[in-house]
Amino acid sequence: MRSLAQIFVALVVAVAVVACAEPQAKVEYASQSVEFADSLLSVGVTDTLHFGRMRSGEIAVKTIAVKNSTSEPLVILRHETTCHCATITYTKQPIMPGGESQIRIEFDSRGAYGWQMKLANFYIAGAERPLRLFIEAEIE
C-alpha cells in the first residue's frame, strides 16, 4: 500500500506535467460583424458568438468587426466578462463615422465541460447601454 507521501508526490508530478504541457492550437472561426447606428446607442446591441462543439482544452478565436454607422466617433472605454476564460483585445482608438475596427475574442475551454454561455459587455462612450456579446459553446 502506498504511503500518503508517495501519493502526494505522484499527484504533484501529475499536476506539473499537465501545467507544462503544450497548449492546444488556436482554432480560428469566421468573423462576425456588429454595426452601430445612432438609434442603437440608446437601446444597445446584443449578439451571440457561437463557437459550436469544442473539446475541453481547445482555444477558439473569433474576430468581431465593429462598424460605426453613427455620426460621431465610437470609443470602447472598457469591457467586463463573466469569466476568465475569454481573452479580449481591441484598439482604444476612436472608430470614426463610416469606419470599422476589430474585437478579437479568444475562448479557452480548459477545465470546462458541457454547454457554456458567457457574457462580455463593452462600454461605449456616449452609449446608454453596452454592446453585449454572449459567448456560447458546447464542450466535450
- Which residue, among 117, 54, 57, has the nearest Cα to 81 in the 3D structure? 117
- CA 59 – CA 51 distance, rounded (Å): 10
Comparing 12-26, 45-59, 105-119, 120-134, the range with the smallest average pLDDT is: 12-26
Please give the residue range of the domain that contains residue 123. Answer: 24-139
Q: Is residue 14 part of a domain?
A: no
Residue 45, pLDDT > 90, answer no
Grid coordinates 456579446 are at which residue? 133
Residues 4-9: contacts with CB within 8 Å, 24+ apart?
A: none
Cβ atoms within 10 Å, residue 20: 7
120 is a domain residue: yes
**Percentage of residues in the chain having pLDDT higher than 90:** 52
Which of 48, 56, 29 shows the shortest CA–CA distance to 139? 56
Kindly report whether the global pTM for this prediction surpasses the value 0.85: no
| pLDDT of res. 19 | 47
Q: What is the DSSP string of 45-63?
A: EEEEEEEEEE-TT-EEEEE
CATH code of the domain containing 52: 2.60.40.10
**Tens digit of each residue's pLDDT (9 = 90 or more) over 126-137:** 888 898 999 999
How many other CB atoms sit within 10 Å of the CB of residue 127?
Answer: 21
Report H helices in 1-140.
Answer: 4-20, 40-43
CB 104 within 8 A of CB 16: no
In a domain, 133, yes or no: yes
pLDDT in tens, 4-13: 665 555 555 5
Query: Does 58 reside within a domain?
Result: yes
Domains of the chain: total: 1
Identify whether 3 is part of a domain. no
Does any domain span residue 6?
A: no
* Residue 66 near residue 100 (C-beta atoms within 8 A): yes
Q: Is residue 50 part of a domain?
A: yes
Beta bridge partners of 11: none
Whether residue 2 is contained in a domain is answered as: no
